[in-house]
Structure 1
Amino acid sequence: MVTGANKGIGFAMVKRLAEAGLNVILTARDVERGKKAVESLRTQGLEVQFFCLDVSDPSSIQIFVSWFQNNFEALDILVNNAAVSFNDIYENSVEQAETVMKTNFYGVKLLTEALLPMFRRSPSMCRILNISSRLGSLNKVRNPNIREILEKDDLTEEQIGDVVTLFLQSVKNGTWKTQGWPKVWTDYAISKLALNAYSRVLAKRFQGSNISVNCFCPGFTQTSMTSGKGTHSADEAAQIGVRLMLLPPQELPTAKFYIGFGPFVKSKL
């Protein structure tokens, strides 16, 4: 299943996964746009299922998970692609910071945790790929205390949540510009910073099991989030993401952060 998939990278990934013969669920928060996306794929001979899902809404997640349980035996691949940003490329407002966190971090975490019991229990590796951003890299954080927390080998989900809460508090009291947070698309960057950290914790939790957890930064891609600007198309980014997801089990890593195209810049989460 792919979240936020009625357009952009998510839609392109659904298309490529369907072309590879997988049974794919396309999710989107807007029913009409989601159905339109599915119909456009069906005209190309690709049979894809649709379900409305708003990852920022816990009740929507609960409804989706219940539907999934009633209709499918197991889940093999989860692509957390849904994300929002309310800034133009050269803007940096944090007015919608809570919504950004609720969608890009908390929503992803809540959905993933709800779906974990449904991953297939078999020797074949199950995969979680979180679409992230290099804006959320630790080297973008200028506050040494925050970096020290997030670099801990024994980092916990609670500590990640504390960092997000600290950021939201600094937004409310107007001190976010002086607290050493990332300078570019600050709220979006923090949401991806938290997502990367959560991915590392999750990968460690399932180390040695049949669940692989990785992040992928597609780079400066031509999507609605970038107002159509970028160095490559959504389809080109999706091609790389799908290639990573469909690696043979013996070649599939975990707890890795992939950046851009080939040769990959690959680092530990």
Structure 2
Amino acid sequence: MSQFRKIALITGGNKGIGFELSKQLAEKNFQVLLGSRDRDKGQKTVSSLQKQGYEVSFVELDVDNTESIQKAVECVQQTYGRLDVLINNAGVYLDEGIKLIEEDPAILEKTMRTNLLGPYHLIRSFLPLMKKNNYGRIVNISSGYGQMDEMDYTGAGSYKLSKLALNGLTRIIASEVSGNIKVNAVCPGWVRTDMGGPNAPRSAEESSRSILWLAELEEDGPSGGFFRNGQRISW
């Protein structure tokens, strides 16, 4: 693969951690495909990065919409013929401080569609391209809230459940794929983004650096793991 510029797709790439991941991957000579469901915001972000000299392209992608996902797959296949890295970053956090049994069921349904089913459909749709080239690095942006111990505390029930399920998806897919395809989950920490809020101790730039190593794993690297700051953590 070294003779090629690797192709990386990042969902939710127009802001926060996704934006920083796009920028840092471009700095590492990846061809970055910045996925965003908002065409205007996505194109403006890509234009800004291109003016700074980064190799970044826009892909309209709504992870809640299987038709949108399929169009993105077709676009990548026709333009590049492969995908080397998929970072499932897009996510929602809609229920801070609300008990799961008291919240509107629509919150749980929306959260699971975005945080679990979106990554599932993306992985399922892009795996054939990775298998074709016997190379793939799939990184699922999870959370420490998805650890089993966190289920004992009230609040953010839908978010926690979605990330617990995403961790399970990570392990299942990792067990089902063979060859040089790695599937891992990562906790970015508490980050100053729209989701994390202004009081979070960690910058998106710092958090992204702790994630990117999973996109560059060697063939003997881990698969089916859950990591924070480069260290394996418990499920």
TM-score by length of 1: 0.78
**Aligned length, in residue pairs:** 223
Q: What residue number does 1:141 align with?
A: 151
Instruction: Note if 1:195 corresponds to 2:166.
Output: yes
Q: What residue number does 1:245 align with?
A: 215
CA deviations on 1:62-107 (whole Å, 9 max, x unpaired) are 111121221111111110000011245x555733111111100011
Structure with the greater alpha carbon radius of gyration: 1
Deviation, 1:122, is 4.8
Instruction: Note if 1:233 corresponds to 2:203.
Output: yes
> What CA distance in whole angstroms lies between the structure 2 residues aligned with 1:210 and 1:122?
9
Q: What residue number does 1:18 align with?
A: 26
Gaps of 5+ in 1: 143-181
> What CA distance in whole angstroms lies between the structure 1 residues aligned with 2:80 and 2:133?
16
CA contact (8 A) 1:15 1:46 kept: yes
Report the secondary structure of 2:14's partner residue.
coil
Q: Name the CA shift for 1:63/1:12 in 2 (closer, same or farther; >3 Å).
A: same
Report the secondary structure of 1:130's partner residue.
strand
Deviation, 1:121, is 4.2
Deviation, 1:187, is 0.3
Q: What residue number does 2:224 align with?
A: 255
CA contact (8 A) 1:222 1:232 kept: yes
CA deviations on 1:108-137 (whole Å, 9 max, x unpaired) are 1011101100115456x5210000001111
Report the secondary structure of 2:20's partner residue.
helix
CA contact (8 A) 1:41 1:48 kept: yes
> What CA distance in whole angstroms lies between the structure 1 residues aligned with 2:62 and 2:23?
20
Report the secondary structure of 1:110's partner residue.
helix
CA deviations on 1:22-81 (whole Å, 9 max, x unpaired) are 111000010011011101111211120101100011111111112122111111111000
Q: Name the CA shift for 1:210/1:217 in 2 (closer, same or farther; >3 Å).
A: same
Instruction: Note if 1:74 corresponds to 2:82.
Output: yes
Deviation, 1:265, is 3.8
Q: What residue number does 1:211 align with?
A: 181
Report the secondary structure of 2:154's partner residue.
coil
Cα RMSD of the aligned pairs, angstroms, is: 1.8
Q: What residue number does 1:145 align with?
A: none
Deviation, 1:141, is 3.1
Instruction: Note if 1:52 corresponds to 2:53.
Output: no
Deviation, 1:139, is 2.0
TM-score by length of 2: 0.88
Report the secondary structure of 2:200's partner residue.
coil
Report the secondary structure of 1:183's partner residue.
coil
Report the secondary structure of 2:210's partner residue.
helix
Q: What residue number does 2:123 align with?
A: 112
> What CA distance in whole angstroms lies between the structure 1 residues aligned with 2:74 and 2:30?
21
